[in-house]
Structure 1
Amino acid sequence: MRSPLLSVTLSVLLVCLIGWLLVVGRSLLLPFVIALIVWYMINALSHLFARIPIGRWRLPGFVSFSLALLTIFVVSTVVLDIVMANLTQLAQDAPTYQRRLEELFAQISTLLHLNDPIELRDLLPDSIVPRMVTAGASLVTTIAGSASLVFIYVLFLILEQSTFDRKFERLFASPAQAEAAFAIREEINRSIMHYFSIKTAVSVVTGVLTSLVLIAIGLPYAALFGFIAFLLNYIPTIGSMISVVFPSVLAAVYYDTLGPFLAIASGLGAIQFTIGNFIEPRLMGSNLNLSGLVIMLSLAFWGAIWGVVGAVLCVPLTVMIVLVCARFESSRPIAVLLSQTGEVGLPRTGLQAELK
């Protein structure tokens, strides 16, 4: 019988090996992960189009799939073009905004009669504004630069997806085992689809409302900040705070008065508070959020491995791990530890018995 110490040692070695492979294979894995997300979104949107009634008829499968593919392509192209244009302009203006922020700190120090004036480098590292812009640009550049490879991966996934079920079925020795595995896979897929469809819809609404507020007040880069709010909304609590801080700080250095700053901070804060605390929990139906400690550890882990892209994908990836682990008795403790309240649903023990 294997000793507990040996099991723990082997588990640690396996985790270290997986982490090393994720770092070494970053250039290969990142485009494939993005391709999987795009492929999943295309199929989800295709199912949505297929359910839309047109009189007594519904769209055929190939028509709904073609519409989904065209929608994803057009939206991605337009959004990336707008974001890249905003980032390019912001990168040019970043030194000016940083000097204005330093002047603002000097004015506050003079107003408060401080013997030791407040300086930007006391609160933030040197050249923080250009580096933040560079980090944002690297995210979009990584996605756009890998577009050709992502397109190839998506194309092959689409061409071969009709064979996935047949291959999956032949992994099992009996029809009963295959049926049980398909049932578990379907349940996991429903949970993931439920979470990400609602989360994506809420993120889109958050990004649009953020852009509209900034456009109404007259702050530049409204589309960029709306896109940032959309991405950061996948990160509970922390993302909402950051998406409010960025445009608020820019408003403080862009305008000569505090009126626009207060309007943007209060307006965006009200949007994030209302959506995050009332609308999203009501739509979600169950609490699938992660604990704060898990969020920070996940950000540190995926950010260290995959950079900015990993920081954006960290929470969705961890949520998927929770959803999958919660469906199996042996891995359910992992899901409980990662979740915020421990309420992760009941495992499907009967189906697992069929798989043995």
Structure 2
Amino acid sequence: MKPTEDNPLLYRITLTLLFCVLTVVCLYYAKGILIPVTTAALLSMLLLPMVRRFEQWKMGRFLSIFCSLLVVVAVIGMLIYILSAQVISFSADIPTIQQNLNQKFQVLQSWIQTKTGLTAEQQLIYLQKAASSFLGVAQSLATMIVAATTGTIVFVGLLLVLIFLFLYYRHRIYHFLLSIVPKDNNINTEKIISEISMVTQKYLLGVFTVMGILSVLNSLVFLMIGVPHAVFFGILASILNVVPYIGVWVGTLLPMIMMAITQPSLTPILLIVLGVWINQQIDNNFLTPTITGSRVAINPLATIIILIIGGYIWGVAGMVLFIPLLGVAKIVFDNVEGLKPLGYLIGDDSTGSQSSMKRWFTKLRKK
């Protein structure tokens, strides 16, 4: 079907809008299938170098993939053990936290009585009414948590199976992708696939490396300020940092609330904000450009828009997965002549340049 001679621009705009609408609808209603498949595809690219290393040691494909997944499961198990120990320690301090909350509540009661004239008994009546409705919400929340835990176990099991199959049939998938692109097209399919694999590996490995470094930095900041369970909150903030711009500040709210409960002064809360802000500057200007690399740079406008779209279509999973998927799309745009303007639109002009802090560190090393 060719554009009409009367109004080809309108024809193309209509087709583009129709394609975008159908894509969003398909992504939304098929998210139960696409989220685990997409996650498994990205993680299989991350594990590919390890699988190849095992294969170089004369291990079969099946055994190489199995050993790689075994290493991943062992690392995840160790992290779960560390986090579980922190959660158990946090649970042991709940009575102390409750006592501090009661003290704060008594102060609040006195302030309310002074300002409104409501006695403590009248305030308790209002609280009992609120507590009865809150109890129903808490019961629903508990049911949701149990269901989510069961769903997570099923999701992880499905993920491991999909990763195994992606790695096992990777050559078949590779040749399939080569065969569906016409040979006479001016598109270097092998180059695109190679760049996607390399950039995805670099991005994901960089994300996990930065996450580990930020866990240490955030934990040190919280320890110096005196935040209870600093290691737990430091790891939590670094994990949430996977969601750009907003994730780390969501993770910072919990230690701020903890300090508000245990400390009468606002100084520790301000120090938490300052410390996390400094760590974010180190991350944005040095860690991420150096470790993750800037081979595929996405500008902040495109990042924020894709976060909103990903959150609307796939929820939290979309906010995490749509960032590397946009990087994959940019590689395709940059290598297809008709799509290069889109690659330029979502790209970052500072791709080849160093940030000011990175240049400062480079000069410092030379000295």
Q: TM-score, normalised by structure 1?
A: 0.69
* Aligned with 1:327 (options 332, 335, 360): 335
Alpha-carbon offset, residue 81 of structure 1: 6.0
* Aligned with 1:339 (options 329, 344, 347): 347
The answer to whether the aligner puts 1:25 opposite 2:34 as a matched pair is no
Any idea what SS the aligned residue of 2:337 has? coil
Alpha-carbon offset, residue 114 of structure 1: 9.8
Q: Is the 8 A contact 2:44 2:163 kept in 1?
A: yes
The answer to whether the aligner puts 1:301 opposite 2:309 as a matched pair is yes
Residue 9 of structure 2 aligns to which amino acid in structure 1?
A: P
Q: Which residue of 1 aligns with 2:70?
A: 70
Partners in 1 of 2:236 and 2:278 — Cα distance? 17
Partners in 2 of 1:323 and 1:101 — Cα distance? 56
Partners in 2 of 1:18 and 1:240 — Cα distance? 30
Q: Is the 8 A contact 1:290 1:338 kept in 2?
A: yes
Q: Which residue of 1 aligns with 2:229?
A: 220
Over 6 Å off, 4+ runs:
84-90, 130-141, 176-179
* Aligned with 1:180 (options 179, 183, 188): 188
The answer to whether the aligner puts 1:79 opposite 2:79 as a matched pair is yes
Partners in 2 of 1:215 and 1:334 — Cα distance? 46
Alpha-carbon offset, residue 154 of structure 1: 2.2
Select between 145-154 and 252-261 the one with higher mean Cα deviation: 252-261
Residue 190 of structure 1 aligns to which amino acid in structure 2?
A: M
Partners in 2 of 1:206 and 1:266 — Cα distance? 15
Q: 1:142 to 1:203 in 2, by over 3 A?
A: farther
Q: 1:247 to 1:326 in 2, by over 3 A?
A: farther
Q: How many residues align?
A: 321
RMSD: 4.7
Select between 75-84 and 192-201 the one with higher mean Cα deviation: 75-84
Alpha-carbon offset, residue 28 of structure 1: 1.5
Q: Which 5+ residue runs of structure 2 have no aligned equivalent? A: 117-132, 354-367
Q: Is the 8 A contact 2:215 2:234 kept in 1?
A: yes
Q: Which residue of 1 aligns with 2:261?
A: 253
Q: Which 5+ residue runs of structure 1 have no aligned equivalent? A: 52-57, 116-125, 346-356
Q: Is the 8 A contact 1:326 1:344 kept in 2?
A: no
Counterparts in 2 of 1:157-196, with a 5 A limit? Answer: 157-171=166-180, 180-196=188-204
Q: Is the 8 A contact 2:306 2:323 kept in 1?
A: yes
Alpha-carbon offset, residue 191 of structure 1: 3.0
Q: Which residue of 2 aligns with 1:153?
A: 162
Q: Is the 8 A contact 1:203 1:229 kept in 2?
A: no
Alpha-carbon offset, residue 85 of structure 1: 7.9
Q: Which residue of 1 aligns with 2:41?
A: 36
Q: Which residue of 1 aligns with 2:130?
A: none
Q: 1:269 to 1:149 in 2, by over 3 A?
A: same
Any idea what SS the aligned residue of 2:335 has? coil
Q: Which residue of 1 aligns with 2:14?
A: 9
Alpha-carbon offset, residue 167 of structure 1: 3.1
Higher RCO structure (Cα 8 Å, ≥6 apart)? 2
Q: Percent identity?
A: 21
Q: Which residue of 2 aligns with 1:201?
A: 209
Q: Is the 8 A contact 1:251 1:260 kept in 2?
A: yes
Alpha-carbon offset, residue 14 of structure 1: 1.4
Alpha-carbon offset, residue 332 of structure 1: 1.9
Alpha-carbon offset, residue 319 of structure 1: 2.6
Partners in 2 of 1:133 and 1:268 — Cα distance? 31
Partners in 1 of 2:302 and 2:102 — Cα distance? 34
Alpha-carbon offset, residue 269 of structure 1: 2.9
Q: Which has the larger radius of gyration?
A: 2
Q: Which residue of 1 aligns with 2:237?
A: 229
Q: Is the 8 A contact 1:86 1:221 kept in 2?
A: no
Deviation per residue, 1:248-307 (Å, 9 max, x gap):
333322444445434543333332222222233244553744333333322221112212
Q: Is the 8 A contact 1:191 1:323 kept in 2?
A: no
Residue 32 of structure 1 aligns to which amino acid in structure 2?
A: V
Partners in 1 of 2:272 and 2:214 — Cα distance? 14
Q: Which residue of 1 aligns with 2:287?
A: 279
Q: TM-score, normalised by structure 2?
A: 0.68
Partners in 2 of 1:244 and 1:287 — Cα distance? 30
Partners in 2 of 1:134 and 1:250 — Cα distance? 26
Q: 1:319 to 1:219 in 2, by over 3 A?
A: farther
Deviation per residue, 1:208-234 (Å, 9 max, x gap):
4334544663523733x3444333333
Partners in 2 of 1:101 and 1:6 — Cα distance? 67
Select between 15-24 and 60-69 the one with higher mean Cα deviation: 60-69
Partners in 1 of 2:146 and 2:319 — Cα distance? 14
Partners in 1 of 2:115 and 2:342 — Cα distance? 51
